[in-house]
A and B are shown apart, each in its own frame.
Chain A
Amino acid sequence: MRAIIGKKIGMTQVFLEQGTIVPVTVIEAGPCCVVQVKTLERDGYEALKLGFIEVQKERRVNKPQRGVFAKAGVKPYKVLREFKIAGKKVGEFVTVDDFKAGDKVKVSGISKGKGFQGVMKRHNYKGGPGSHGSMFNRAPGSIGQSSFPSRVFKNKGLPGHMGCERVTVSNLSVVGVKSEQNLILVEGAVPGPTGNIVEIKAE
């Protein structure tokens, strides 16, 4: 398994040789410093803690965190994420070179917040007719039965807050990698707005 932390730059398009246009998301990924190595003996599982985006002013990091970075002998980082990968030591870097065009990856991030939304947008309910005297336009309709069971079942889709949650999009293919600019081009859309921190994983 390979993994890296990245920042969503935005979407654009690339041409393939035959002139086919592929929509791509540009992600600035890495270089990510290994801040901590979790081992089976010490922590019960194996993982690497990666840091991404160096902190410019050290006073912005709180004192306990500063100690963690100082002990590891690395610079302080804004974003820390743990991945179940192995094979690197503390202070080494994970770069985009681990990925190549044609790889299938999973991209996770916090999706765009949509606020309080109704059932049509939030749960893809069909709603009612828009006109001809219909007064059942975007309402959810019946939400259950009668005196039995006298309650609404759990997980019934109802209006509420939507978005701003962790979303993973799997099976995206890597279109290109630019190691000198630390960029990965991934086909299709990835969660969240421009500037969003995303995690990229490949098997």
Chain B
Amino acid sequence: MILMNAVEEQYKKEIPVFSIGDTVRVHVKVIEGDKERVQAFEGYVIARKGGGIRETFTVRKISYGVGVERIFPLHSPIIQSIQLVKRGDVRKAKLYYIRYKKGKDTKIKEKAREQR
């Protein structure tokens, strides 16, 4: 546990609860020259991997007909905020199969209601 304490301040304090299949909007800091601006990347969360400070999540979106995936370290300082857009109803922990689907099959059903 002392290992965790060593990089304690690197952990993000507030991370919204989101899981596989959810649609999220990730606000990413982009540095252009000496200017800094915030860019949004919205898509399905198709994987969450790793634990602790190493945890990452993969967001997939379709941009101009081309599938784009971005892997974000969950605790990365370039992520300004993560916004939960929609909850998805899925049965798998990794949605890699969605890459090979076309049309209607690429859609993820929205969760009817919260089960807590």
Contact = CB atoms under 8 A, between A and B. Distances in A.
Contacts of B76: 15, 19, 21
Interface string A1-20: 00000000110111101110
A183 interface: yes
A26 B10 CA distance: 14
Contacts of B6: 9, 12, 26, 178, 181, 183, 185
A125 B72 CA distance: 39
Interface in A1-59: 9-10, 12-15, 17-19, 21, 24, 26, 28
Contact of A13 (B5, B29, B53, B77): B53
A28 B75 contact: no
B31 A18 contact: yes
Q: Which of B7, B52, B77 has the most CB of A within 10 A?
A: B7
Contacts of B78: 18-19
B47 to A, nearest CB: 18
Contacts of B10: 14-15
Nearest to B54: A13
Interface string B1-41: 01111110010000000000000000001010000000000
A9 B3 contact: yes
B94 to A, nearest CB: 22
Contacts of A14: 7, 10, 53
A15 B73 contact: yes
B31 A12 contact: no
A14 B73 CA distance: 11
A202 B26 CA distance: 42
A185 B10 CA distance: 13
A188 to B, nearest CB: 15
Interface in B47-91: 52-54, 73, 75-78
A10 B7 contact: no
Interface in A65-111: none
Contacts of B7: 12-14, 24, 26, 185
A22 to B, nearest CB: 11
Contacts of B77: 15, 17-19
Nearest to A184: B6
A12 B53 CA distance: 8
Contacts of B54: 12-13
User: Which of A14, A19, A21, A178 has most B Cβ within 10 Å?
Assistant: A19
Given A13-B53, A26-B7, A185-B7, 4 more contacts: A9-B2, A9-B6, A12-B6, A24-B7
7 contacts: A10-B3, A12-B4, A12-B53, A13-B7, A13-B54, A15-B10, A183-B6
